[in-house]
């Protein structure tokens, strides 16, 4: 399920540095985990996220909320391992591995494409593709994205494509965001994060994107506010 987008995103290949970008992502991990959990309306605070990432338990929260934060952390560490060992590719197998970590104990089935229908809350006209078509959509359309665009465009388009197709029962945006980060970090081209302060704008633009399949507004938002390069303040 491709979408229309006329926006062009520039990419300065002269500033890439894989090792430094990987170090930047690792350093900023608590912020990325927190921001991701906030998009899921998780009530755990930033200090509590840092405590969990340090391996210390916290009290006063539902087990599911704590598990969600730990899943996001584990998925990031999987990504770091894949990128650091030159094993990352935006393949179906890697999508499945990331989703298995992200949606563990949250989705009925994690790490495999859904076998039923899903809906997006708040949309009016959106219909996810039939589950019978997901394998064909993945194999056919991912090559269009990876073959035709620069690294930053690939990351943004992969994120929107994964979110739009709803390949999994749960964790689709989180999975697609990690894959987008894999593309960027693997090429030393930056990191992708949707900050807590931008959640309302992001959600509004995403609902419009789902309903219209027109991506210009959300692409502009993501490229200007959600891609961070080496030396920039995330």
> The CATH number of the domain where 62 resides is what?
1.10.3290.10
Check whether 201 has a pLDDT greater than 80: yes
The reply to whether 59 falls in a domain is yes
What predicted TM-score, i.e. pTM, was given to this entire model? 0.93
For residue 15, the model assigns a pLDDT of: 59
For residue 167, the model assigns a pLDDT of: 98
Residue 66 phi, psi (nearest 5):
-65, -45
Residues 33-57 pLDDT 10s: 999 999 999 999 999 999 999 999 8
The reply to whether 135 falls in a domain is yes
Q: Which helix (H) or strand (E) holds 83?
A: helix 63-84
* Domain limits for position 133: 17-228
The reply to whether 4 falls in a domain is no
Q: How many CA atoms lie within 13 A of 12 on its CB side?
A: 8
| Domains of the chain: total | 1
Instruction: Calculate helix-pair angle for 46-53, 63-84, nearest 10 degrees.
Output: 60
Tokens coding 195: 């900050």
Q: Return the biggest CA–CA distance within the chain.
A: 48
The reply to whether 10 falls in a domain is no
The reply to whether 5 falls in a domain is no
Q: Which helix (H) or strand (E) holds 19?
A: helix 18-27
Check whether 16 has a pLDDT greater than 90: no
Rounded-to-integer distance, Cα 193 and Cα 148, Å = 23
The reply to whether 195 falls in a domain is yes
Mean local confidence (pLDDT), 49-67: 92
Q: Among 16-25, 69-78, 168-177, 181-190, which is the least confidently predicted range?
A: 16-25
182 and 94 Cβ atoms separated by less than 8 Å: yes
Check whether 14 has a pLDDT greater than 60: no
DSSP string, 24-71: HHHHTHHHHHHHHHHHTT----HHHHHHHHTT----SS-HHHHHHHHH
The reply to whether 233 falls in a domain is no
The reply to whether 38 falls in a domain is yes
174 and 72 Cβ atoms separated by less than 8 Å: yes
């Amino acid at each position: 399920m491709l979408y229309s987008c006329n926006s062009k995103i520039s990419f300065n290949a002269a500033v890439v540095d894989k090792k430094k970008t990987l170090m930047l992502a690792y350093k900023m991990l608590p912020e990325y985990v927190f921001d991701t959990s906030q998009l899921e309306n998780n009530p755990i605070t930033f200090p509590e996220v840092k405590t969990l990432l340090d391996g210390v338990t916290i009290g006063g929260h539902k087990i599911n909320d704590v598990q969600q934060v730990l899943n996001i952390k584990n998925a990031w560490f999987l990504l770091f391992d894949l990128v650091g060992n030159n094993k990352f590719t935006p393949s179906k197998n890697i999508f499945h591995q990331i989703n298995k970590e992200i949606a563990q104990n949250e989705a009925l089935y994690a790490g495999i494409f859904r076998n039923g229908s899903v809906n997006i809350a708040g949309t009016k006209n959106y219909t996810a593709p039939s589950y019978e078509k997901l394998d064909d959509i993945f194999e056919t359309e991912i090559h269009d994205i990876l073959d035709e665009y620069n690294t930053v465009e690939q990351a943004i388009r992969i994120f929107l494509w994964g979110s739009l197709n709803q390949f999994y029962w749960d964790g689709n945006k989180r999975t697609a965001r990690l894959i987008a980060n894999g593309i960027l970090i693997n090429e030393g081209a930056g990191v992708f994060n949707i900050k807590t302060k931008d959640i309302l704008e992001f959600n509004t633009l995403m609902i419009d994107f789902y309903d219209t399949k027109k991506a210009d507004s959300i692409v502009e938002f993501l490229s200007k506010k959600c891609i961070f390069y080496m030396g920039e303040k995330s």
